[in-house]
Every structure is written in C-alpha cells, then in structure tokens.
Amino acid sequence: MPATFDVGVSSPDFKFSCAHFVAYKGFRERLHGHNYTLGIRLGGPVGSDGYVMDFGDLKRVAREVCKELNEHLLVPMKSDVLHISFCYPPNYDSKISDPNKQNVNITTEDGAFFSLPKSDCALLPIVHSTAEELCVYIWQRVVDKLRPDYLQKRGAEWLEVTVAERPTQEARFRQEIQYSPDEPTSTRQLVAAGPCCPGHRPPRKAASEKDADVAPDRETTISASSNRSRPVVASSAPPSKSSAPIQLNGQPLTVAAAALPTYPSSSSPNSSGPDLFE
C-alpha cells in the first residue's frame, strides 16, 4: 500500500459566532448561540512542490467560511417543521423592491414566531442547524472555494471538516472527493456515501455549568449555551465509486459556488414554495 499524507489547519481564530435552535417533530430548542470553531483536513499525494496542499490556501478558505457565517442566525431552509416566509417590514417603502431588505419570518410547531432582517440570517440548505449538518454544508463550501479543478489537479482524495460548539464538543464529517469532469465547475456535484445525519434524535440532556461554551477569560461575541452534554462525532468511511450524492435525511444536498445563498422575493412558506437549493 503506497504511503499517504494529509494536512490540516485548525485555530481558535477560525471561529464564527451564531445563534440557532434545533427543531424537529415534537421538539424545539430555545434560541441560543455558540462560538463555533472550524477545522479542515485534506488527504492526498505529495506534489512536485512538496505539498499536499499549501497551508495558506486552507487557512484562507477557513477564514472566508467563518466570515460568511459569523454573527448570523442559522436558518435551516429545508426544515420539515419550520414555516419560513419572507416579507417587507411594516414601515418599508413599498415603491422600492429590494429583496435584501425583507424580513425572514419563522413560525415553529409550538407557535413561537421569529422575524429578523434577512441580512442578519444565514439561509442554509440544511434540515437542522446541528453541528453535523453544518459540517456537510461547510464541506461543500470548502470544495467550491478551493475549486474542484484545482483539487483534481493536485490529486486531492478526501476532505474532512470539523465543527466544534465548544472545546470538548464537536462533529466531524470526512468524505472522499469524487469528480464529475463532464459538468461545469460551478455546478459540479460531489458524491458521498449517503445520509450523514440519519433520522431525528431525542433532545440531549442539559449541559452543566462547568461545560460552558467559552471559558471566562476567552473573547465572547455571543453568550453561548447548549443542551448538548457530550461530544458528538459524525463520520463516514470512504465511499465506493457508485456512491450516491451527499444527502441530509434522504434529500440530495447541492450548494452553489457563491456566497451564502440568496432567495427570491416571496411570501410563500418553505414547505410549499419552490426548491431554492437545487
């Protein structure tokens, strides 16, 4: 078996502070936040320049992804239990049509209602705003930013993304990179072994005070709390060549090679409106 290498970057500086709540049938967390940190690892052969991948490229991408998500509410646009719609605030001048000035309205199963400026929300193509599903979303963003053609040129074989809610609590998604050379780079779909977040889970036990997300002497942008009391690791073995597209709860996940997704002006709920992510 030939020798293999992998390189990775992780740092307390690769962080994004976000609010979120996990919701599924019969359960909803209270709105809270985390100071997330991000780690990236890449496996493949050593090139003629002596690198698997320049650390500088991985650091740049990590910082860009964190900047995109930082100080936003994470909105899972593929949720099957949240009613999500868009509308202009009451005092908005109706003569000016600017979808970016709309509010995002979220109604939950238990009747709670949230309305926030669209610019304060990260509208993500995921079902639940869990660390596991964030890993899958960020995995695709990293590939898009590094460019599949460049990854293929360097012979990159797999990519691993780690998202930590606190130093002792993280999710990890590792997946082989498979290339579709006949498709344009901007819409190329990479394939994975199958669902990384199968099914709904019961609520986790409340965390103790000593499990606070951020130590008192560390910088805090959002006061974070969590009901997740143990580390969670989601990983998958390298797939076969006939594997299916990356999925979340049985739905294929594709992410456009652009900044955070933007959506058309609409007051239709996510449950009955057009698919915004395919």
How sure is the predictor about 150, in pLDDT bands with cuts at 50, 70 and 90? very high
Q: Is residue 245 part of a domain?
A: yes
Q: Is residue 113 part of a domain?
A: no
Partners of 124 in beta bridges: 76
Q: Is residue 236 part of a domain?
A: yes
| 8-state DSSP, 156 | -
Q: Is residue 199 part of a domain?
A: yes
> How far is the C-alpha of 84 from the C-alpha of 90, rounded, in Å?
18
Considering the chain, what percentage of its residues have pLDDT values greater than 70? 64
Partners of 28 in beta bridges: 23
Domain count, the chain: 1
Whether residue 10 is predicted with pLDDT greater than 90 in this model: the reply is yes
Whether residue 186 is predicted with pLDDT greater than 60 in this model: the reply is no
Whether residue 137 is predicted with pLDDT greater than 90 in this model: the reply is yes
DSSP string, 196-258: SS-S--PPPPPPPGGG-SS-TTS--SS----S--S------PPPPTTPPBPEETTEE----SS
Instruction: Render pLDDT for 30-63 as a digit per residue (tens, 0 to 9).
Output: 999 999 999 999 999 999 999 999 999 999 999 9
- Residue-level pLDDT at 225: 32
Phi, psi of 90 (to 5 degrees): -55, -35
Whether residue 12 is predicted with pLDDT greater than 70 in this model: the reply is yes
Is residue 47 within 8 Å of residue 167, measured between CB atoms?
no
Q: Which segments of the chain does DSSP mark as H helices, in order?
A: 55-69, 131-146, 148-154
Assigned token pair, 236: 């998958």
**Domain of residue 166, CATH code:** 3.30.479.10
Please provide the average confidence, as pLDDT, over all residues in the chain: 75
Q: Is residue 196 part of a domain?
A: yes
Mean pLDDT of 65-80: 98
The pTM assigned to this predicted structure is 0.69
Assigned token pair, 230: 């143990």
The identity of residue 201, as a single letter, is R
Structure-model confidence comparison of residues 85 and 209, the more confident one: 85
- Residue-level pLDDT at 90: 87
Q: Is residue 265 part of a domain?
A: no
> How far is the C-alpha of 204 from the C-alpha of 197, rounded, in Å?
15
Q: Is residue 185 part of a domain?
A: yes
Q: Provide the residue range defining the domain that includes 143.
A: 5-76+122-252
- Residue-level pLDDT at 236: 33
Q: Which of 137, 193, 144, 190 is nearest to 163 (CA)?
A: 137
Q: Is residue 18 part of a domain?
A: yes
> How far is the C-alpha of 173 from the C-alpha of 154, rounded, in Å?
21
